[in-house]
Amino acid sequence: MTTRKITFDPDSGTPYAVNLTINTGATFKANFDVVNTSNSPFNFEGWSGSSQMAKSVSIGSTSYAVATFNVGFTSAVGGKFSISLGSSDTRSLVEGRYVYDILVSSGSTVYRIVDGNIIIKPGISSAP
């Protein structure tokens, strides 16, 4: 479980790209440490977050969310949050390439703060 440090610039309109890997049947958690353009912690006090992933498909195809991550602010004032899935959620994922994004919002203001690819890797062993 690594922590990704990202710079959040609300004026840019561009999410920070972070690629992730999930092993099926394992608990998944990704931590994010968010700073503003002055390299100070971004204050998420009073904000909420949501995140989903969908199977990566060719242009023009339709896809739907196959998983919804739990989003938790571990230190809203310190700019820290995480996304996670439990082992029972990852167990049902099919091997392949997926896309995801993380939205943060405060009132009617919504930003896509992070997006990227997720590679789902099947496990060989099973947990007891």
Catalogue all structural domains in the chain, each as residue range(s) with its CATH number: 3-121 (2.60.40)
- Residue 56: its pLDDT value, please? 79
What's the pLDDT tens digit per position in 75-128? 999 999 999 999 999 998 999 899 999 999 999 999 999 999 999 998 766 655
- Residue 13: its pLDDT value, please? 85
86, 113, 107, 81: which is closest to 17 by C-alpha? 113
Sequence-distant (6+) residues with CB within 8 A of 120 are: 21, 22, 24, 90, 93, 94, 95, 96, 97, 98
- Residue 5: its pLDDT value, please? 96
- Residue 64: its pLDDT value, please? 77
- Residue 62: its pLDDT value, please? 54
What's the pLDDT tens digit per position in 25-81? 999 999 999 999 999 999 999 999 999 999 876 555 556 788 999 999 999 999 999
What's the pLDDT tens digit per position in 4-32? 999 999 899 899 999 999 999 999 999 99
Residue 3 pLDDT > 80: yes
Sequence-distant (6+) residues with CB within 8 A of 63 are: 54, 55, 56, 57
pTM score of the predicted model? 0.88
Distance CA 109, CA 46 (A): 12
